[in-house]
Amino acid sequence: MTAVRAGSLPGLDLERLAAYLRELPGGPVLERVELVDGGRSNLTFSLTTSAGSFVLRRPPLADVAPSANDVGREFRVMRALRNSAVPVPRTVALCTDTTVVGAPFSLVEKVTGRVLRHPADVAALDAGQARAVVESLVQHLVELHRVDVDAVGLGGLGRPAGFVARQVARWQAQREHVATRPLPAADDLCRRLRRRVPAGGRASLVHGDYRLDNVMVDAADPSRIVAVLDWELTTLGDPLTDLGLLLVYREPECAPVLPHGNPFDGNPHVPTADDIARRYGELSGIPLDDLGFHRALGCFKLAVIAEGIHRRHLAGLTVGSGFDSVGDAVEALLNRGLELLT
């Protein structure tokens, strides 16, 4: 925890931020600031003020890939979902004036609960709790995919037609933007994905990075999710892209990309990827015939994200710990994606 003083934290000018807060309704006085350890993308800070606790999110310090790290989109989605079946933090303010902290940023109320980030967090759960927290994770994903986007004002958030083909093209473009080295497996996986894009497709709200450590659970009851977090990649598209990526997060190859390792690895009672997929299919009624493709697409997407993090780390632009091994996950994820398409 960092007490407020003259100067800056990485990504924040405390004096300018304090002045901005004083102009909000109620005139909150900034008292303390904490950089939240856990993010690999947007920087997240916990603010203690005279009016309560808030969370501030802003993009990374530099080298932001096009269309990524969109705090404005994230803010809009959380505001729209406030009265839905999907629990989200209450939105407070969106600042687009880049002179305050050097980039746009959002403020939301801090939710009381905990995030199961570490394998040790999940290891502490008994067998029933380990199964229940994943059941809740799947249930909330189904609820997200059931949201009436027009009713909540998000009907214009994306273009569902051709979504999956655009996802392949988008992540290939992102890969070219952040590449630090030749990766033949990435070229091969991208070619195979392009050839096997499923015809047609459903349309729903898609989170874009749905996983265990992007939700907050009740401290006393870990089976109850109190907030779904990190909406910066949300759009409209095929819901199986969310499920496919969630299943990739059940794979051991993703561990270096996550700040504290793969929390799923902490408990042998966590349902398998096949169990998770089966339960999603039962609850949603959505056919899973193309799930292998979507899992491979998830591997490609996560590999590109990891390469972008690795690029920022090499440039000395990451904030926090644990970034030195992220680059090691890239080829493993690409190879796993190729396996899923065979």
Residue 126 lies in a domain: yes
115's tokens: 């995030």
Distance, CA of 321 to CA of 46 (rounded, Å): 17
Distance, CA of 182 to CA of 184 (rounded, Å): 6
Which band of pLDDT confidence, cut at 50, 70 and 90, is reported for residue 226?
Answer: very high
Distance, CA of 64 to CA of 52 (rounded, Å): 31
Distance, CA of 54 to CA of 87 (rounded, Å): 17
Of 109, 131, 160, which residue is a domain's last? Answer: 109
Q: Are strands 30-35 and 12-13 parallel, antiparallel or unpaired?
A: unpaired
Give the chain's length.
342
99 and 205 co-located in one domain: no
127 and 96 co-located in one domain: no
Helical axes 240-248 vs 291-314, angle rounded to 10°: 60
CA proximity to 35, closest of 52, 6, 14, 65? 14
The alpha-helical segments, DSSP class H, found in 81-126 are: 119-123
Which band of pLDDT confidence, cut at 50, 70 and 90, is reported for residue 8?
Answer: low
DSSP 306-323: HHHHHHHHHTT---SS--
**pLDDT recorded at residue 41:** 67
22 and 144 co-located in one domain: no
pLDDT, averaged across the chain: 91
On whether the CB atoms of residues 36 and 44 are closer than 8 A, the answer is yes
**pLDDT recorded at residue 42:** 82
**In the predicted model, is pLDDT for residue 260 greater than 90?**
no
Secondary element (H or E) of residue 72: helix 71-80
109's tokens: 């109320």
137 and 240 co-located in one domain: yes
Dump pLDDT digits (tens) for 197-215. Answer: 998 778 999 999 999 999 9
Distance, CA of 232 to CA of 241 (rounded, Å): 15
Residue 57 lies in a domain: yes
Of 50, 81, 109, which residue is a domain's last? Answer: 109
Question: How many domains does the structure of the chain reveal?
Answer: 2
Residue 114 lies in a domain: no
**In the predicted model, is pLDDT for residue 1 greater than 60?**
no
**pLDDT recorded at residue 68:** 52
Dump pLDDT digits (tens) for 299-326. Answer: 999 999 999 999 988 988 877 777 888 9
Residue 218, domain CATH: 3.90.1200.10
Residue 296 lies in a domain: yes
Q: 10 CB contacts (<8 Å, ≥6 apart)? A: 35, 43, 61, 319
168 and 128 co-located in one domain: yes
102 and 135 co-located in one domain: no
Residue 194 lies in a domain: yes
135 and 268 co-located in one domain: yes
96 and 155 co-located in one domain: no
182 and 281 co-located in one domain: yes
321 and 232 co-located in one domain: yes
> 40 in helix, strand or coil?
coil
Distance, CA of 337 to CA of 18 (rounded, Å): 46
Of 109, 143, 168, which residue is a domain's last? Answer: 109
pTM of this prediction exceeds 0.85 = yes
172 and 318 co-located in one domain: yes
Q: What is the mean pLDDT of residues 225-248?
A: 96
**pLDDT recorded at residue 6:** 42
Containing domain of residue 323, as a range?
Answer: 119-340
- Max mean pLDDT range (7-16, 171-180, 256-265): 171-180
**Which of 3-7, 13-17, 248-252, 302-306 has the least mean pLDDT?**
3-7
On whether the CB atoms of residues 259 and 309 are closer than 8 A, the answer is no
Helical axes 291-314 vs 163-178, angle rounded to 10°: 20
**In the predicted model, is pLDDT for residue 5 greater than 50?**
no
Residue 28, domain CATH: 3.30.200.20
On whether the CB atoms of residues 91 and 75 are closer than 8 A, the answer is yes
193 and 250 co-located in one domain: yes
**pLDDT recorded at residue 69:** 61
Q: What is the mean pLDDT of residues 69-98?
A: 95
154's tokens: 């998000």
Dump pLDDT digits (tens) for 143-198. Answer: 999 999 999 999 999 999 999 999 999 999 999 999 999 999 999 999 999 999 99
Q: What are the strands of the beta sheet with 43-49, ordered from one edge?
A: 2-3, 30-35, 43-49, 52-58, 105-109, 91-95
